[in-house]
Amino acid sequence: MKSPSRKSASLETELKMLWGASAWPFASAIQKPYASQSFSDAYDQLTQLFAVKASGVLTGPNGVGKSLLVNALLEQLPQKAYRPILLAHSSITASDLIRHLCRLQGIAVSNRRCDNVLTLRKTWQDIAPAWPVLILEEAQNLSVTAMEEVRLLAADRTDTQTPFSLLLVGDDDLMARLLLGVNRPLLSRFGFCIQMETWSPEDLQSYIRFRLQEVSIHDDLLEPQAEQLLLEASGGLPRTLNNLAQRAMEHAARAHSRLIGADHVRLALKQLPWLIRLPEQQEDKSS
């Protein structure tokens, strides 16, 4: 029996022999974002809203590309104009949130909340005219007390101007959380909500070609039925498409097949049983 490392090496060899690819096109190592309509619209809106120092919410289903959008945006924000702060620890407690922000800013942490807030305020004043942008990912998991801590920090000015732009990023549960009465004071400070939608089949088809060409594959590898199965099973989510297409491509490589067929996609679906069952599978089960 071959060792796991040799099996992996064999797949890498097939990748180059069958397709002449420089890397797996749908693997996580490929980071360049594809500008779908949903991605482009949200990117343009956030750029404009940060320019007017607005705060708000970015929501969308898991796997639609919110984190990729945030990272792409942070890479493009001019450093002279903005100071972005990304906080991705959604399970952080209210008492830890201010201290963690201080650490991210390179500030010595005090045991007294008021001292930490004053130090943060002074730090942000010192970097003016650069504008702080605080982004909290997986915000649907923040506790009520953590959300209240964020609100109090945003209210830490004598005038009506929030001392930074705040962006809460989360899945479709985030708005339901914010609409609870206890979170209404925080919600009242927001000036926008951007909802990223699932991708159209046309965007997903273009995305497939984009990812293949990115690794120097310029021929169509997917049989028409295989591509249709991928589009239906992905549910408009690029992350799901990546996982499914990667598994299907691996099955094709094991079979030494240059074309990825419907059977390869069906084998991949067996490895991802949590995906929505396809109409033809439901018919087979009922017959």
User: Which residue range forms the structural domain that includes residue 20?
Assistant: 7-30+199-277
Q: Which of 9-23, 67-81, 89-103, 117-131 has the lowest mean pLDDT?
A: 89-103
Partners of residue 202 on adjacent β-strands: none
Mean pLDDT of the chain, nearest integer: 87
Per-residue model confidence as pLDDT tens digits over 188-205:
989 999 999 999 999 999
Number of Cβ within 10 Å of residue 34's Cβ equals 20
Question: Does 5 have pLDDT greater than 50?
Answer: no
What is the mean pLDDT of the segment spanning 153-176? 84
Question: Does 181 have pLDDT greater than 50?
Answer: yes
Strand order in the sheet with 192-195: 82-87, 131-136, 165-170, 56-59, 192-195
What confidence category does residue 1 fall into, taking pLDDT thresholds of 50, 70 and 90?
very low
SS3 content of the chain, % helix, strand, coil (to 5): 55, 10, 35
**pLDDT at res. 281:** 45
Token digits of residue 34: 């594809």
Q: Final residue of a domain: which of 195, 213, 234?
A: 195
What confidence category does residue 285 fall into, taking pLDDT thresholds of 50, 70 and 90?
very low
Q: Final residue of a domain: which of 150, 178, 195?
A: 195
Count of domains for the chain: 2
Same domain, 117 and 184: yes
Question: Does 278 have pLDDT greater than 50?
Answer: no
d(CA 140, CA 176): 9
Q: Final residue of a domain: which of 171, 195, 219?
A: 195
Strand residue runs (E) in the chain: 56-59, 82-87, 131-136, 165-170, 192-195
Same domain, 45 and 187: yes
Same domain, 165 and 212: no
Of 96 and 269, more confident: 269
Q: Which CATH number does the domain housing residue 226 bear? A: 1.10.8.60
d(CA 124, CA 83): 9
Per-residue model confidence as pLDDT tens digits over 58-79:
999 999 999 999 999 999 999 8
Q: Which residue matches tokens 């940060």? A: 50
The string of DSSP letters for 166-230 reads: EEEEE-TTHHHHHTSGGGHHHHTT--EEEEPPPPPHHHHHHHHHHHHHHTT--S--B-HHHHHHH
**pLDDT at res. 160:** 61
Let me know if residue 286 belongs to a domain: no
